[in-house]
Structure 1
Amino acid sequence: MQKQHDFTQGNLWKQLIVFSGPIMLTNLLQTSYQFADSLWVGNLLGASALGSVAVSSTIIFTVLSFVIGLNNSALTILSQQKGRGDEQGLKRYLNAYVVMLTIMSFVLGTIGYLSAEHLLRILGTPESMMAAATSYLQINFIGMLFLFGYNFISTVLRSLGDSKTPLRFVMIAVALNIVLDPLFIAGFGFGIEGAAYATILAQGSAFVYGLLHVLYRKLAPFSIPAWPKKKEIGLILNIGIPSGLQMAVISAGAAAIMSVVTVFGEDVVGGYGAAQRLDSLVLLPAQALGTAISSMAGQNIGVKNWSRVKQLAKYGVLYSFAVTFLIGIIVVVFAQYGVRLFIREEASVAFGTRYLQIVALCYPFLGINFVLNGIVRASGAMYQVLALNIISFWVLRYPLAALFSKVFGDMGIGIGVGISFLVSSFIAFLYFRFGKWREKELLV
């Protein structure tokens, strides 16, 4: 059995490093999961099939973002219950989440399956890709329970202080997907549908294994599902909805910035796309640290140990700043080589390199956002975090990218984004220091 940590006592610095490490590796594996999918489809089926997967993945990512938002709310409630030592409360809310997420996965899966083609048309999917993209998307919606399930089990274990066991589930999913993709795509001749079948089979296997493993080892107090009380449903929705909306704000903000990029033509779009792929990799440590901090803070907030929460914030900011600063230096030096992994066109490489070298210098400030917002989120102040995200993306990042691009041309996109990281981290600090999030009474 993996050790579950009580973060309300012990060496906080050591706990932070040991607990966040497996989460970083888990996030890296999940990114490689998507990378392997695209690699097999692109090489075995060609550019059109890869385009179909890319368009469909936009919709899947939106749903996944909502799932991540709900899981953030679960992390908040369950970690506070763990910190309080309230076993019955933990069991009740765990049951409530199981019931609500199961119903939600079936509802979303059914709606998604029936409306897949309509959603793809809204995105302007080319007619030549429509049939393949629809099939791929529908099969993924059939496996919605698996997507919800194995993400939720991982969240539950992290809220209890176990970050190593979820890593095992993701490793199973990644390994199966790498093996099943070529087998189903080319071996069985299923084409793009084979890629979708491989995905849901890999996720399904990880979910079933994870569920059986948790039940057998008694790692979490799961019980036979029963209809939750109105109070439990109300609390879950009260923090789950704004938590889900946070992810929607982030997704929409990213799309808005893309509208600034497209003004400069396909060379800049290509370079930006390559830079974003690298961005998603290099920021994984900061994102993982935010998840770890949220779970650790939740346990301490549950017992009102504010001095330890303050210490955790200090350690988290220092750790995040050091890691992201080091990564930023590496990116500045090797940006061109990284961009060339994805594209070859010189004009695109030049823009992608410039963009990364500008933005990388501001990575540490974005890392501060992840840490401080993670602590505020752990208190249950979801609407406040939602407001901070709206400010970050819609008041700062998008307008600044648009403004500076008019002044400095395409180079201004990176300048605007980088400055937004700096300013939003200052705003996050001000709210963390002076905001009323500590007064939030989640469990009464």
Structure 2
Amino acid sequence: MRKMIIFSSPIFLGNLLQSSYQIVDSLWIGNLLGAAALGAVSISAAVIFTILSFIIGINSATLTVLSQRTGANDEEGLKKSLNAFVFVLGLLSMLLGIIGYIMAPYILQWMGTPQSILPVASAYLKINFIGITFLFGYNFIGTVLRAVGDSKTPLRFIMLAVILNAILDPLFIAGLNMGMEGAAYATVISQGSAFLFGIIYSSRKKGLPFTIPTVPPLEEFKRIFKLGLPSGLSMVAISGGVLAIMTVVTSFGETVVAGYGAAQRMDSLIMLPAITLGSAITSMAGQNIGAEKWDRVRNIAKSGIILILIVSVTISMMIFLGAEFLMKMFVEDSETVQFGAEYLRLVAFFYPFLGINFVLNGIVRASGAMFQVLVLNIISFWLLRFPLAWLFSAIFGERGIALGVGASFIVSSIIAAFYYIFGRWNKIDIFEREEKNGQTGEDST
């Protein structure tokens, strides 16, 4: 429990800083350039997140493979897998940047972006696509460091990016009179600096075997896509499920949409402990699975559930008591505040179940059961959360949205627990073919 808290704390702070990154960006743009510019940034940010979902999901396979390599003390295997991930993910991010730069205005038009803000939104999005390799790069290095047991160093990269962005935003936007393009360049420079610092620090100080990437063996390609493809599709399933729920929300009008939007900003912060612990547990369990210490894996699951229940219940009580105050931080309209506060109070009772889901899925993901996690996410969002939100809202009206979402948390956690107890996730061996090849080589010798 103590190690779990120490290891996950820097990850939590890093996630918190990542969230503040967008908030700080929005504050400068909104105050210096106005509401229209802020709207353009919001639309562009949604595009970047949606397109990156797949590649970020593939990146999560890095944590599983490298943590198991570390746990098994397989230095040569770590170097080989690291090279393969750098090659594949680097190539994907560059291709994504090129395609995104060319398609940016067409994507925005397809989304129905108002003509008045289309030019600035397009310029902002294009510049962000130029630097998308930096964004992905420093997050990838952070993932690698966590896989080998270092959760503190990635916090430095994120902190550097956040501080630089906070300084460069007003300088470029107003000082150099670059407007929206200045905000985009500030973001790219900040992320590029963090990426460069991350490569130098992790190579020289941490001794990570980063080299100039070469074309990896076929077996490494297969392993990455066998684990990464379902993980990437999980992210797509999640982001698509969130958009589907929005179609239920929009049916109740502007007040409910505004209240739900403000509540979701709080929701994203409330879920940070669960997301953080899930990531930390994947790394810790992965190392112990690699070392074949299954008793410790079970202890990690037990400690993780106890910890997330303590944290979630505490947060739920705070949200229930302070829902109205929290909503007034974002909006002033009384009806909007009323709906948002009621939504938060209702959902607050169900956060502990969501936490259990993250913990158990983190353990399962550490074994390499990416396809199973994909199935669990499809069930969670498409067979439970969206249908239940629609059904309960049809029965109970607008407050049924929260009840449906909360009910899905309960059922999802039960399904996750059932698979953790009875599933065969602990029989998966992601290096099985490699071992067979090694045995064949010994026999032939």
TM range (shorter): over 0.9
Equivalent position of 1:7 in the other structure:
none
The equivalent of 2:440 in structure 1 is none
224-233 vs 378-387, greater mean Cα deviation: 224-233
- How many angstroms apart in 2 are the aligned matches of 1:423 and 1:281? 23
Work out the CA distance in 2 between the residues paired with 1:224 and 1:254: 39
- Aligned counterpart, 1:126: 114
1:441 positional shift: 1.0
Query: 1:29-428 counterparts in 2 under 5 A?
Result: 29-428=17-416
Summarize deviations over 1:29-74 as a string: whole Å, max 9, x none.
0000000011111111111100100111111111332232122100
1:304 Cα shift? 2.0
Unaligned runs of 5+ in 2: 433-445
Q: CA separation in 2, counterparts of 1:219 and 1:166?
A: 15
In 1, the alpha carbon distance for the partners of 2:49 and 2:275 equals: 17
CA distance in 2, matches of 1:377, 1:122: 35
Measured in 2, the distance between the counterparts of 1:49 and 1:33 equals 17
**What is the deviation of 1:367?**
0.4
* SS of alignment partner, residue 117 of structure 2: helix
> Match for 2:39: what amino acid?
G
User: Conserved in 1, the CA contact under 8 Å of 2:343 and 2:399?
Assistant: yes
CA contact (8 A) 1:150 1:206 kept: yes
1:10 alignment partner in structure 2: none
Residue pair 1:65, 1:244 contacting (<8 A) in 2 also: yes
Contact 2:59 2:89 in 1 (8 A): no
Per-residue deviation, 1:121: 1.3
**Which stretches of structure 1, 4 residues or more, deviate above 4 A after TM superposition?**
none
**Mapped partners of 1:227, 1:61: distance in 2:** 28
Q: Which string of whole-angstrom CA distances, capped at 9 and with x for unpartnered residues, describes residues 61-103 of structure 1?
A: 1133223212210000000000001000000000011111221
1: distance between equivalents of 2:235 and 2:62? 15
Counterpart secondary structure, 2:229: helix
Query: Would the aligned equivalents of 1:157 and 1:219 in 2 still touch at CA under 8 Å?
Result: no
Pairwise CA RMSD of aligned residues?
Answer: 0.8
For these two proteins, the number of residue pairs brought into alignment is 432
Q: Percent identity?
A: 57
Tell me the SS of whatever aligns to 1:124. coil
- Residue 438 of structure 2 corresponds to which residue in structure 1? none
SS in structure 2 of the partner of residue 128 of structure 1 = coil
Q: TM-score, normalised by structure 1?
A: 0.96
Q: Paired residue for 1:441? A: 429
Deviations 1:282-331 (A, max 9, x none): 11011000000000000111122211111110000110111011001000
Check the 8 A contact 1:40/1:182 in 2, yes or no: yes
Q: Structure 2: which amino acid aligns with 1:108?
A: L
